[in-house]
Structure 1
Amino acid sequence: MSSGCPPQSPAVAKSEVAIEGECPLLAATFAYWDNILGPRVHHIWAPKGDHVMFLSDGDVTFLANHTLNGEILRSAECGAVDVKFFVLAEKGVIIVSLIFDGELKGDKNTYALSIILPQTELAFYLPLHTICVERLKHAIRKGRIWLQKGYNIIAVLSLEIVSIMELLASMKTHSVPEDIDIKYTVLNDDDIGDSCHEDFLHKAISSHLQTCGCSIVVGSNPEKVNKIVRTLCLFLTAAEKKCSRLCKADSSFKYDTGLFVQGLLKGDRRQYGLAANTSSTITLNTVAPQGCVLSHLFFTPLTYDCTPAYSPNLFIKFPDDTTVVGFISNGDKTNCRSEVSRLAGWCTDNNLPLNVEKTKEIVVDFRRAHSQHDPLSIYGVAVERVRSTKFLGVHITEDLIWTSNTSSLAKKANQCVYVLRKLRRVRASTLIMCSFYRGTIKSILTNCITVWYGAGTISCHKNPWGSEGS
């Protein structure tokens, strides 16, 4: 025990966590304020490995004193979590501490959840600071509920602490370097034809930019997955690259929230998890299991091969709704009908049979002399043909007249006028009324306005409230 340090709390418990690889985290501590003894350490988590934690029991108590000293008079809002960052040069460590209040059996107390790293890892940790803090805050929110119910909060905190240790260990060895050599990406002339199928690279980069640089690359070949990860990271800043991770060839990392780009390996048997929540091992086909928290994340990579065979046609895919847009030229319906058969076949191969009863067909005929069209059939069942349909909130008719759409928008906006009149009656300021109008009424009236306004009639353009709504 180091000299000059107060004795360790007799109730302290320690858990050694087995982490694959070298974890830069020295320890994590959970401390509380004792009205008699002052700050006390309740639990310690330390990675189990070749390197032994050089902090003694007295050092851990000394660090707990730093994180909770002065918090006895803490006056924070209910539910607030204060983040403190300490650099103790004399100990050669950095401490990230989250201070929060909680109720245990009706008594309010102050707690501190801290992680301890060597000072030499400061440059490595800083880009990941926001990710770690947000995940610890999430664990604290759940821990507060457990405290109120009288449960053991250590069980909740252990899940997130272990997950953060695994994240830091994986980032230590498989983070994307700041300087990426072009020859290790799919932009290399020798590899671009082999690594990218058709216009996959164009779609991947477009999707990557549309999601503000956040992407998940899933594949069975670790070398190709890492090439695409490095390619997407070319569009990130240096700090964002440090928050991106390559996949590991011999074992697959779990999905970690907060990372910009990460590579994951897929196979016949996989584990899906979010943070510390991991499902049991299950056998999958080509889709994520129903109810899985990662279903929406894996929707795009698992349905990328569901594409039309002819360029004028489109597949507009959503998890619970798919639209096929087919082009008929010179009365030839072969390409259009084959696309529907192609989609139905793909769904059958992937155990996703289409519901023909809910499927509708609408035909937009631009010819002056309209002819009768043969009914569309799926699985041998005729599909109902309708004159109008609703797509993403827009009413589309077979003659592309937007009267029904504008009437629907005006009806929705009319329901909000009552509140606007109430604000006017209580003499609300013009600024408040304008803000309410823009946030509710105007947003409804201008929904998809670039689609229907140019082809709308005079009655469609007419404002229902005259100059007041201009």
Structure 2
Amino acid sequence: MLPYIYSFCLPKTDCGVLAVVMSRWDDIVGPKTVRVWFQEQSHEDMGLPIVFSRDGSDKESNDMGVKSKVPLSSEACNTEIVYSNKQEYHPGESGNIASQSELVDSNLFSAIKYVTNHTVNCLAVARESDAASSSCLQEKGTSFFAVPDVNLVFLSLMFLVKEGNTHVPYSFALITSYENYEYFLQLRSLCLQWLRRIAFRFHTLLVKNSCTFDTSLWKNLNEWIMDFCKMLVEVKQSSLDTMSFQISGNVVKSKIIKRALTSHLQTFGSSVVIGETADSINNMIAFLGLFLDDTDKHSSCLIDPLRKYSYHMGLKLQGLLLDEYGGRDLASLELMSNPIPVTVIDLTVGDSFGAVKQTSNFHSYLVNQQEMYRNEYRFLNQGNGSSLDHESVMQNVRETGRLVNDAIRDLEFLPVVYWETYIKTFRRRLNCLALSLLSLVSWMRNTGNQGGLIKFPGESRGGITLAKYLKNTLRLDDADFLVVLSAAEKLKPGIYIYVLERNNP
């Protein structure tokens, strides 16, 4: 008998994911699979028979209040093997092999067991005195396993859920075949962001409902995991690596291109482009993509005019087409859930101030490690949780720096075929400035200037902040300084908040 229930919740379109598994630690049986999500697979596709229970009796399959009547094999239970061409499938419902007339590959069952055994353990169990009593997600670690001998790769996130006086380890894991190892290695950070968000939402609702697993909880989980996999489908089909797009030289003649590129670099290359046509959106995305490294390009998507797109948290570059009513499918909840700031470039409003906006600077996200989850928590604790319009969390970008201005001016005179080479040189220059900034900060720390304002010999009073000292020394204006500081953060995480929050007057 299956020790867990499952849902047909993965999209039919291939996203590379074989299954998503939720597991927990049980003090009696040890690692335990709770629920599995995968695609519906027919016996005709697999060339295998259907297994039915002869008596059809209901038996408890887990401790979540859900019943299952599915035998693993005819040897284990009183079963018979028959063939059937009839299938009954209800999207989003959980079920079992007998009732859904389905059979899942036994290799996948083995993979699910392997994943569960390697994602939760008793070492993470914590009593109330050992764990913080908080509504925040208590993450215990992530894993990325590649097992070529059994054609298995999985990525998992383990976290704690309070049950009584004990914090019990749970995990979400994404399973794929070994042939997708290189592909999902590039998407590891993106997938972990989504698993972390799903885990936080699951934890919040579970604590809110006093650890009861009701129907609404599973329904919400089905929707979140489906959204996750839909995002992976878009990445696989429309990423900058899989789709080719010829950049038009007119993109650098846009009146907002300097502000757009400045904000794009300030927000670590995370931008969403809104437009009326797919060509105009893809032209801007392809141009901004030249300033990304190869890893970030894997998490960036062009758009297909025949498909409907929504904003997806975690993607570096993505586009949104206006709907037939001129609406923009963009909400503050999604923007604020992104782990880094986001630039919104609206090509439909001309060169107005509102054409380029961004969320608050990166150091605002880092003041509190769980800041990005606060909006999620409020959303899940409201009735229907309608979020505010995205305008309320955005600020206009008005300034451009000399670095970007000079780069755009040079690109205007260069043929498009040389842009990629020029931009590589621009990025090297930006990295050199970032390294210089890091060297200056290190020198300041080694000289013992750890607190207060920075004072220089000959000064009778006063002083300057570290941020102002770095600007003056590197000869950067405010806009360029944030661009260089963002590049430095990629090289040495933590430098952003150290510079902007330290010794402010």
TM-score bracket, normalised by the shorter chain, equals 0.5 to 0.7
Q: Aligned pair in 2 of structure 1 residues 42, 432: CA closer, same or farther (>3 Å)?
A: farther
Aligned CA distance change for structure 1 residues 299 and 222 (closer, same or farther; 3 Å): closer
Specify which of 7, 12, 15 is matched with residue 15 of structure 1: 7
**Structure 1 residue 245: Cα displacement:** 0.5
| Alignment-mate amino acid for residue 272 of structure 1 | D
Matched residue, 1:367 = none
Distance 2:247 2:337 in 1: 32
Aligned residue for 1:63? Answer: 115
Letter in 2 for 1:145: T
C-alpha contact 2:276 2:348 (8 A) present in aligned 1? no
Question: Are the aligned partners of 2:22 and 2:173 in contact in 1 as well (CA < 8 Å)?
Answer: yes
Q: How does 1:282-293 map to 2 (within 5 A)?
A: none
- Per the alignment, residue 451 of structure 2 pairs with 435
Structure 1 residues 267 and 109, CA gap change in structure 2 (3 angstroms): same
1:289-310 deviations in Å (ceiling 9; x for gaps):
xx999xx968651674254xxx
* Structure 1: unaligned runs, 5 residues or longer: 1-6, 279-287, 308-313, 320-351, 353-391, 393-430, 451-468
Rate the CA distance shift 1:239–1:28 in 2: closer, same or farther, 3 A: same
The one of 278, 284, 298 aligned to 1:242: 298
Q: Name which one, 1 or 2, has greater alpha-carbon Rg.
A: 1
Q: Per-residue CA shift, 1:277-332, capped at 9, x if unaligned?
A: 78xxxxxxxxx9xx999xx968651674254xxxxxx999989xxxxxxxxxxxxx
Q: Deviations over 1:95-140 (max 9, x none)?
A: 1121222112444322121110111111111121111112211222
2:103 paired with 1:41: no
Query: Quick one: distance in 2 between partners of 1:96 and 1:315?
Result: 40
The residue number in structure 2 matching 1:130 is 189
Secondary structure in structure 2 of the residue aligned to 1:166: helix
Counterpart in 1 of 2:23?
31
CA shift at 1:146, angstroms?
Answer: 2.8
Distance 1:250 1:135, change over 3 A: same
> In 2 relative to 1, CA 303–251 (structure 1 residues): closer, same or farther, beyond 3 Å?
closer
Instruction: Indicate how the Cα distance of structure 1 residues 318 and 112 shifts in structure 2: closer, same or farther if over 3 A, else same.
Output: closer
Preserved contact between residue 198 and residue 224 of structure 2 (Cα < 8 Å): yes
Distance 1:120 1:267, change over 3 A: same
Superposition map of 1:311-350 within 5 A: none
Match of 1:301 among 339, 346, 351: 346
Residues 103 and 148 of structure 1 are in contact (CA less than 8 Å); yes or no, is this contact kept in structure 2?
yes
Structure-2 change in CA distance of 1:432 and 1:217 (3 Å): same
Task: Specify the SS of the correspondent of 1:249.
Answer: coil
- Asked if structure 2 preserves the Cα contact closer than 8 Å seen for 1:256 and 1:274, the reply is no
Assess if the C-alpha contact under 8 Å between 1:81 and 1:137 holds in 2.
Answer: no
Change over 3 Å in CA distance of 1:40–1:271 after alignment to 2: farther
More helix by share: 2
Mapped to 2, the partners of 1:122 and 1:251 lie a distance apart of 28
**Which residue in the other structure is 2:79 paired with?**
none
Structure 1 residues 106 and 204 mapped into 2: Cα distance closer, same or farther (>3 Å)?
same
Q: Sort the Cα spacing of 1:316 and 1:20 in 2 relative to 1 into closer, same or farther, 3 A.
A: closer
Report Cα offsets for 1:379-436 as digits up to 9, x if no partner: xxxxxxxxxxxxx9xxxxxxxxxxxxxxxxxxxxxxxxxxxxxxxxxxxxxx999524
Matched residue type, 2:292: L
- SS of 2:33's partner is strand
Aligned to 2:225: 161
For the residues of structure 1 that align with 2:41 and 2:191, how far apart are their CA atoms? 22
Distance in structure 1 (CA, Å) of the matches to 2:230 and 2:191: 12
Q: Indicate whether 1:264 and 2:328 are aligned.
A: no
Aligned to 2:96: none
For residue 451 of structure 2, give the secondary structure of its aligned residue in structure 1.
Answer: helix
CA contact (8 A) 1:176 1:230 kept: yes
Q: Does the CA contact (< 8 Å) of 1:142 and 1:156 recur in 2?
A: no
| Structure 1 match to 2:144 | 85
Q: Taking structure 1 as the reference length, what is the TM-score of the superposition?
A: 0.54
Q: Secondary structure at the match of 2:320?
A: strand
* Corresponding letter in the other structure for 1:108: H
Following the alignment from structure 2 to structure 1, what is the Cα–Cα distance between the partners of residues 257 and 141? 43
**Secondary structure in structure 1 of the residue aligned to 2:183:** helix
Gap change, CA 1:432 and 1:142, over 3 Å in 2? farther
Q: After the TM superposition, which residues 409-428 of structure 1 pair with which residues of structure 2 at under 5 Å, given as runs? A: none
The alpha-carbon distance between structure 1 residues 14 and 209, as it changes in their structure 2 partners (threshold 3 A), is same
Shift of 1:94: 0.5
**Any idea what SS the aligned residue of 1:135 has?**
helix
Distance of 1:18 and 1:145 partners within structure 2: 23
Counterparts of 2:355 and 2:235 in 1: how far apart (Å)?
36
Cα pair 1:13 1:42 within 8 Å, conserved = yes
Distance in 1 (CA, whole Å) between partners of 2:355 and 2:34 is 54
Identity %: 19
Within a 5 Å distance, the mapping from 1:158-307 to structure 2 comes to 158-177=222-241, 184-187=246-249, 192=250, 198-269=254-325, 270=327, 272=329, 300-301=345-346, 304-307=349-352
Q: Which amino acid aligns with 1:61?
A: K
Deviation at residue 171 of structure 1 after TM alignment: 0.9
User: Per the alignment, in what secondary structure is the counterpart of residue 19 of structure 1?
Assistant: coil
In 1, the alpha carbon distance for the partners of 2:34 and 2:330 equals 29
- CA distance in 2: counterparts of 1:33 and 1:197, whole angstroms: 58
* Inter-CA distance 230–214: structure 2 relative to 1 (3 Å threshold): same
8 Å contact 1:8–1:57 — kept in the other structure? no
Paired residues of 2:274 and 2:344 also in contact (CA < 8 A): no
Q: Secondary structure at the match of 1:177?
A: coil
Aligned-residue offset at 1:80: 3.0
Greater relative contact order: 1 or 2 (C-alpha under 8 angstroms, separation 6 or more)? Answer: 2
Structure 1 residues 211, 35: CA separation in 2 closer, same or farther (over 3 Å shift)? Answer: closer
Counterpart of 1:35, as a letter, is: D
1:161 is aligned with what amino acid?
I
- Partner letter of residue 115 of structure 1? L
- Aligned partner of residue 116 in structure 1, secondary structure: strand
Amino acid corresponding to residue 255 of structure 1 in structure 2: Y
User: Judging changes above 3 Å, is the alpha-carbon distance between structure 1 residues 443 and 236 closer, same or farther for their aligned structure 2 residues?
Assistant: same
- Residues 128 and 223 (structure 1), Cα distance of their counterparts in 2 relative to 1, 3 Å cut: same
* Root mean square deviation, CA, Å: 4.5
Q: Aligned pair count?
A: 308
